[in-house]
Structure 1
């Protein structure tokens, strides 16, 4: 008998999942597998916050598959070998997956297609996690875009992203091995994805609902609320003005096609401009993946090679720890870093301020910040995380100008004037008035337990500008 093997990766959903839709249409016994692969060459090990999310996302996916008549097989190790072994165990003649765009992952996938062809197994991949695949959006000369605005303009000038696929009502019965048994699946708890000693995940659990249902609930809340005023609301960290869909997109619990067309259904005709701004944020995600596709070492090498000469200053251990732990003495930076530690997420405007402080006020190499966010963000992915850090540092594509140095005091006064966000994550400042909370070192009354600034903003700004100017001058 023929059988189908579907390999899920960063597409942990039933809705708008082309590989599962094709498997349902085939109707042959089905094996659905997730492989935890941190051994294949070049594959980056997952950070701690991502591992926490992955555990709960896989648990939710397993329950959803079971409700649809299927099951989830879990295996750990080098993906190519595991997929080959599982195909042999289940006598699969069809292998299906949704495409990935990082170089190590593409190498694994290409190798498996070559192997499958030699074995007489049909191997088919699908577009599922990007609306505009990197090789389809090119400049007039045929190369990749290096600036976001013309990239996004080219995307939206083309055909509308395809309509999302409905989730299969039922999936074919699970495939069995030659002796009639179900393929072995490793217990999820044995993977050790959850923190144990200590368990720092309480804030994450209180903030997020990993899984497809949680993703769709987030989307519904967004379109019914913040979406219509996203253009202004997204800049105010003390209100729920953003979608918070980024970790769900990171794991593919919801597809960008579903988000795009849900917005279309809710807001057209007469869509407010804010919805277009949010769509452009989806576009930035697509742009980051094109950057990674063209530059596989985006997390370790400067996109702009002239930055190889930049005079980064290694921060002292105390300075780096103060930044990581939210103890710099600058409330907006500290509130953001504590929000990150508590919830695995940080408001985007605050991310920019916190990142700017590290790479410009401390002159620390952007890779230090990228590595910290990789370990602590629930939405850290291989494209957006390094691309955004390089944008702030000035070393990336379409990067922030070298002279743009976020002043955390100015930023908090402008976007958190009443100090609502600051007080939420810095209880030491709760007693300060709305003026003093932004600059507690100037306050008449003390803020017990809150540190003095670790550096002077004016002095470090001048140092950064001089360092960037030397790079510019060659």
Structure 2
């Protein structure tokens, strides 16, 4: 049996400019690509009509089809990673496994377990940076510590990026050392226990004309003025390096959003405790209200605050919510309703097509005032003034809340002035006791 190398696809579902794949294909051995539909992850998804899972499966099937021309295939598993690699080591003589790094705590634990297993079989695991431009310890302050505030982080990020732009790597499909094998289909959606959905996945192509005006129009939810590339960055169907290169030449504000993405990934990598705790520990003393009825109104978009309700209904129906509105609804939940940011974060994690743990956690903690570089707790978004500023003609609201202005629309579930003062008092007392 001749030796082969394995390439393990994860959050990098593309052949072009894929770091670990590039290095795997530079070796002299044939490369067998694999993807694992991880039961431990999929089993936690209660909704079996999950558009994200459907998108992953469709993407894997398309990639497998492209490998036909190379006489190869993408081997898929529906199991946990250790079981998959145990099966692979029984079937093939493996020299090394190549993959790109993931910075989520559960992914780090998984990779440590896989590395230990492979080592016991005499197989090396090589990991590479691919999901971000700069990772955990590449952007540090003069004292060598990670940045806790975005602005100085972004300045150092830009300085480093301008001096040493990452190379754009070859398309892996141009290589000739893919492992040759008879073609088989990948696991179907049915085989992994999921169903098709009606949710539309936006294109992965960058709309350059739109991005040119990004800084002027991005805050207006009625306009189609954002990239909608979140899901593609989440699953790596676009390259962050290629995107940053384009953004740099088109719009600095858009590039800044990509820097925020790196920032939150860095924060999570250095502070895995933020998954379940406030970045600023004293904020875990806030006595959140366990208001399940109020939370359900927020989830359903029936709060009586039209900009909030429009955002939640857009999320529920499409898997997307405009970024400006994400801030408004998060502020409303944590400040107006005094409901724990973790409840809102979990709901977004369930619904958002572009759910990314680092960015979702960072955004929610920013809104709640509990995180790094957070919005101060005493700044509380007024939904009415936000509406006047960003949806003055009510186009966004009327699209998602058609009963707005009629007797069928509910009255506000809480008075803004009362809620604002209650939040200020609650935060102030909780923080004074620490």
Give the structure-2-normalised TM-score: 0.91
Residue 134 of structure 1 pairs with residue 109 of structure 2: no
SS at match of 1:427: coil
The aligned residue for residue 80 of structure 1 is 82
Alignment partners' CA distance in 1, 2:127 and 2:116: 13
Alignment partners' CA distance in 1, 2:110 and 2:123: 16
The aligned residue for residue 224 of structure 2 is 240
Alignment partners' CA distance in 1, 2:24 and 2:184: 18
Kept in 2: contact 1:70–1:172 (CA 8 A): no
Residue 251 of structure 1 pairs with residue 235 of structure 2: yes
Residue 378 of structure 1 pairs with residue 342 of structure 2: no
Deviations 1:251-310 (A, max 9, x none): 11111101011234x54xxxxxxx111111101111111111122232311111101210
Deviations 1:353-398 (A, max 9, x none): 0111111100000111011001000011121111111111111111
The aligned residue for residue 352 of structure 1 is 327
> 1:7: how far off?
0.4
Alpha-carbon distance change, 341 to 59 in structure 1, aligned in 2, over 3 angstroms: farther
Which moved further from structure 2: 334-343 or 28-37? Answer: 28-37
Alignment partners' CA distance in 2, 1:86 and 1:388: 39
Deviations 1:110-131 (A, max 9, x none): 3433443453334322211110
SS at match of 2:277: coil
The aligned residue for residue 13 of structure 2 is 12
Residue 312 of structure 1 pairs with residue 288 of structure 2: yes
The aligned residue for residue 403 of structure 1 is 378
> 1:153: how far off?
1.5
Aligned residue among 402, 415, 421 for 1:462? 421
Structure 1, unaligned stretches of length 5 or more?
A: 196-200, 268-274, 430-439, 441-446
SS at match of 2:94: coil
Aligned residue among 139, 144, 152 for 1:150? 152
Deviations 1:289-337 (A, max 9, x none): 11111222323111111012101111242x2221111111111101111
> 1:423: how far off?
1.4
> 1:459: how far off?
0.8
Q: What is the alpha-carbon root mean square deviation over aligned residues?
A: 2.3
The aligned residue for residue 276 of structure 1 is 252
Deviations 1:142-176 (A, max 9, x none): 22211111111121121433122131224534355
Deviations 1:32-72 (A, max 9, x none): 111122438xx994574533433333333333433554322
Deviations 1:406-436 (A, max 9, x none): 111111111111111111112223xxxxxxx
Alpha-carbon distance change, 83 to 184 in structure 1, aligned in 2, over 3 angstroms: farther
The aligned residue for residue 434 of structure 1 is none
Which moved further from structure 2: 282-291 or 296-305? Answer: 296-305
The aligned residue for residue 25 of structure 2 is 24
Kept in 2: contact 1:54–1:193 (CA 8 A): no
Aligned residue among 401, 404, 422 for 1:426? 401
Alignment partners' CA distance in 2, 1:451 and 1:68: 59
The aligned residue for residue 268 of structure 2 is 292
SS at match of 1:137: coil
SS at match of 2:133: coil
SS at match of 1:449: coil
Residue 263 of structure 1 pairs with residue 228 of structure 2: no
Equivalent runs, 1:157-176 vs 2, <5 Å: 157-158=159-160, 159-168=163-172, 169-174=174-179
Alpha-carbon distance change, 52 to 354 in structure 1, aligned in 2, over 3 angstroms: farther
> 1:228: how far off?
1.5
Kept in 2: contact 1:89–1:183 (CA 8 A): no
> 1:350: how far off?
0.3
Which moved further from structure 2: 401-410 or 156-165? Answer: 156-165
Q: How many residues align?
A: 426
Kept in 2: contact 1:322–1:328 (CA 8 A): yes
The aligned residue for residue 231 of structure 1 is 215
Alignment partners' CA distance in 2, 1:157 and 1:80: 41
Alignment partners' CA distance in 1, 2:350 and 2:84: 26
Alignment partners' CA distance in 1, 2:313 and 2:210: 24
Aligned residue among 109, 112, 115 for 2:111? 109
Aligned residue among 412, 430, 433 for 1:471? 430
Alignment partners' CA distance in 2, 1:381 and 1:45: 16
SS at match of 1:166: coil
Kept in 1: contact 2:14–2:238 (CA 8 A): yes
Give the structure-1-normalised TM-score: 0.84
The aligned residue for residue 433 of structure 1 is none
Alignment partners' CA distance in 2, 1:108 and 1:171: 31
